[in-house]
Homo-oligomer: A and B are copies of this chain.
Amino acid sequence: MPAYSTNMRLKFPILALVLEIITIILFGVFVVYDDGKGHGHDADHHDNNTHKAEPMDLYPMFQDIHVMIFIGFGFLMTFLKRYGFSSVGMNLLLAAFGLQWGLLMQGLWHLDHGKIKVDIFKIINADFSTATVLISFGAVLGKTSPVQLLIMTILEITIFSINEHVVVNILGANDVGASMIIHAYGAYFGLAVARVLYRPGLRNGHDNEGSVYHSDLFAMIGTVFLWMFWPSFNSAIADPGFTQLTAVINTYLSLAACVMSAYAVSSLVEHKGKLDMVHIQNATLAGGVAVGTCADMNIGPFGAMLIGFIAGIISTLGFKYLTPVLASNLGIQDTCGVHNLHGLPGVLGGLSGIVAVALGKKEGSVSHMGSAAMQAIALASSLGFALVGGAVTGLILKLPVWSQPPDQNCFDDALYWEVPAEEEEHEESLAHNKAEV
C-alpha cells in the first residue's frame, strides 16, 4: 500500500465537516427542546408511575454514563504502548459525532408532531447508542483510519436504532442494561467488521501490539470508572423508585462477585499463578454486562452475584483460550478482546434474561413463556443485525480509498497524529545504536 494513501488531508476534514453540517441541518429541521408538554411514545418508559418526574431528575445518572463513554471506554483502550492518542482521541471523536447521530436515528422512531423533543432521557439514549460503536472500535483498534471509523459510526448507529426499535417497541422485550442491544450487538458487529478486514500480515502479531507499564495504568483509569458507574448504566432508564434501586443493587453486587472470580481465574491460568492485567482491565467488568438484561428484575442479590461470578470466569477464560483461537483459526483479530468483555457476557445476559422472564421475575409481565420467547427473539435479532450489519460495513470499509493503515503502521499513533519529538529522537537514537551494532 503506497504511503500517500494513508494521508488523511482533505478526506478526513471534508468528511467530518460535511457530516457535521448535514447533522446541524437535520437538527434544525427535527430537534427541539422538551418543554414538558405532550410526551410521545417513550412516555411509558419512565412516566407511568406515581413519581412526578422533574426535568433534571436523571441528570446525575446521565453524567455517570457520560463518564463511562468518554473516560471509561476512552482510557480502557489506552493500554497499547503507542496508541493512546488514538484510543482516547478517536473515542472522543466517534462518541461526539455518534451521540448527535444517535439522537436523530433514535428520535425518528419517536417523533412528536414531527419533532424530536430532547430531554435527559433522550441524551442518555444517545450516549448509549455511541457505546455500540466504541465496543466495535475495540475490535478493530489500531487497524483502521479515522475516515473508516466515522463511516462505521454512521452505519452502526443507524442499524442499532433499527434493532433497538424491533427489540423494545415491536417485541416488547426487556433489556434495561442493554446486554443484548448494546453489548452483544456492538461486539459481534465489531467482530464481523474485523473478520472482513482480516490482515494476514498481522497473523504473527505486531511489535506495537502490547502495553508498557504506564499505559496499563492509564487503562485502569478506564476500567475503574466503567466498573464504578455501571450501576448507573444498567438503571438509568429503569422505572424510577424501587425498580431503579433494584437495578443498582443487582449491578453493584454482580460486579463485586465478578471481580473475585476474574482475579481467581486469572491467577489460576497464568504462569506461576500471577495476575494478568488484560484480565483485570476487562473481565472484572463482565458482571456489569451480563446482569444488564435482568438488572431491574427480581432475581435477588444472590442471583445477581451468581451471574457476575459466572461472567468473570467465562470472560477470563475467553481471553486466555478463545481469543487466540479466533485469531488463528477464524481470522478474527480482536484487538481489545471485546468478544470476552461484551460478546460472551452479552449473550450470557440475554440468556439470563430469557430464564428470568420465564421464571416470572419481571414484574407486570403477563404471559411468562410468551415473554421469554420475545426475549429469545430479541437476542437473535441483536445478533443477526450485528453480524449482517457488521459484514456489510466491513465490505464498505474494505474499499481502498479510506486511508487505512498499512500493516507495518498498525497500532501506531504516528500515522494520524503529531507525536512529540522526544519520543522519536529517542527511538532514532536507539535505532542508530542498534544499527551500529
Contact = CB atoms under 8 A, between A and B. Distances in A.
Interface of A: 7-14, 16-17, 19-21, 23-24, 27-28, 31-36, 51, 54-56, 59-61, 63-64, 66-67, 70-71, 74-75, 78, 81-82, 84-85, 88-89, 92-93, 96-97, 99-100, 118-120, 123, 146, 210-214, 216-218, 220-221, 224-225, 227-229, 232, 240-242, 244-246, 248-249, 252-253, 255-257, 259-261, 263-265, 267-268, 270-277, 280, 284, 298, 300-302, 305-306, 309, 416-423, 426-437
B120 A248 contact: yes
B284 A92 contact: yes
Nearest to A28: B302
A97 B256 contact: yes
Contact of A417 (B146, B257, B268, B275): B275
B218 A217 contact: yes
A74 B244 CA distance: 28
Given A7-B272, A9-B268, A59 B60 contact: yes
A143 B249 CA distance: 34
A434 B429 CA distance: 9
A244 B12 contact: no
Given A8-B272, A212-B423, 15 more contacts: A8-B274, A9-B273, A23-B257, A28-B302, A32-B301, A51-B54, A55-B241, A56-B248, A60-B63, A66-B228, A210-B420, A214-B214, A221-B221, A429-B430, A430-B433
A275 B54 CA distance: 42
B418 A257 contact: no
A316 to B, nearest CB: 11
Contacts of A217: 78, 84-85, 88, 218
B54 A264 contact: no
Contacts of A260: 16-17, 19-20, 93, 96-97
Contacts of A432: 434, 437
B24 A305 contact: yes
Contacts of A421: 210
Given A24-B309, A93-B259, A252-B123, A264 B12 contact: yes
State the copy count for this chain. 3
A56 B232 CA distance: 11
A98 to B, nearest CB: 9
B213 A245 contact: no
Nearest to A34: B245
A300 B267 contact: no
Contact of A56 (B59, B240, B305): B240
Contacts of A20: 257, 260-261, 264, 309
B428 A434 contact: yes
Contacts of A225: 71
B33 A245 contact: yes
A85 B277 contact: yes
Contacts of A437: 432-433, 436
A337 B277 CA distance: 27
A320 to B, nearest CB: 12
Given A33-B246, A88-B224, A261-B17, A422 B9 contact: no
A224 B74 CA distance: 9
A270 B120 CA distance: 37
B7 A273 contact: yes
Given A56-B245, A249-B123, A92 B227 contact: yes
A23 B272 CA distance: 27
Nearest to A99: B256
Contacts of A34: 242, 245
A429 B252 CA distance: 45
Contact of A33 (B9, B146, B242): B242
Contact of A265 (B13, B97, B220, B252): B13
Given A20-B260, A63-B228, A430-B427, A13 B88 contact: no
10 contacts: A8-B267, A8-B274, A10-B268, A12-B273, A33-B249, A71-B228, A81-B422, A212-B423, A430-B433, A434-B435
